Amino acid sequence: MGAHATDHGPTDLAAMARAALVREIDASGAWDADPVWREAFASVPRHLFVPYYYVGAEDGYERLWGEDPDPRRRVRWLRGAYTDSPLATRVRDGRLVSSSSQPSLMAKMLTELEVRDGNTVLEIGAGTGYNAALLAHRLGDDLVTTIDLDPEITESARQHLAAAGHRPTVVTGDGARGCPERAPYDRIIATCTVTSIPRPWLAQCNPGAHILTPLATGLIDLRVRDTEHAEGHFLHTPAYFVPLRGTDRHEPEPTGDGCLPRRAVQHESFRFLLALTWGILDPHEAVALWESAEHPERERYGVSVSGEREWAWLDDPEGPYTWTLR
């Protein structure tokens, strides 16, 4: 889309921008393991899910929207809707409440979810509805449920989904409690960060189900054995999401310590360890572990759930480096 982008109609602009986004995600390799997702991203119009969003400005946030009377600002909104970047969609009192995730990260997460035809999926965090639309495009509306605590968010998601021709089940409720009335599920995917794995998720899964959720600053991919047992490794991919809001859910305290060595705090792999063990492991002990373990990347860490016990670990669930999460 060049200098004469406003000469094109909005439908043409959207198609051009969407095609460019698909090419960009394709080049990233995000869906190489399951290229069927390419067709979903090529078909579902992201701009219908972000009729407005916010971009950073000197005095906070600037709102861009599709009904702006200025045609050039409408083009800016449309082009921004198809950039491979997260979009802030709800801001309250200067605080980000909801967003549309980076499309290439969404593609990576959906690919890692390893969905199969006929799978039932629960999404924790409805957001704009875009991720639910991608799932519904692949699996069908009847097999997809998405839940969010905020009724304004769920109502907007329903409207966006309907505009795009999809009607999966959209539920207003506490995502930490899952959605038992639609269980059991073959896959659960969360688009918000948790500090531990909510037990209702396991209880609502079929044996062999996958749970993929942000935790600390990574993505944990759990395989569910039964209602009380699950285990898995973190993906290599960094992930920064807004926290899950709901009953008994608490945001983690901010990480960082001015007394820690710069060689550690400037390294992404150490910041992940610090976030994963914050409030559990002394930060200086974390530095010593990080150095002795030769700067381990995310995929060397994992999480195990067994009954009431839940713990994170490095290299081995029963090894010397474990941290209780509950």
**Which residues are catalytically annotated?**
98
Q: Which residues pair with 234 in a beta bridge?
A: 220
DSSP 8-state class, residue 44 = S
Cα 49 off chain centre by: 16
Q: Where are the beta strands (DSSP E) in 39-142?
A: 52-57, 60-65, 87-92, 95-100, 121-124
Radius of gyration, CA atoms only, the chain: 20
Answer whether 244's CB lies under 8 Å from 190's CB: yes
CA 92 – CA 98 distance, rounded (Å): 10
Residue 210 · residue 185 · CB < 8 Å:
no
Comparing CA positions, the residue from 271, 252, 253, 273 lying closest to residue 315 is: 273
DSSP state of 81: H
- Burial class, 42, CB count within 10 angstroms (exposed 0-12 / middle 13-18 / buried 19+): middle
Task: Report how far residue 275's alpha carbon sits from residue 194's, in angstroms, rounded to the nearest whole number.
Answer: 12
| Phi, psi dihedral angles at 317 (to 5 degrees) | -60, -25
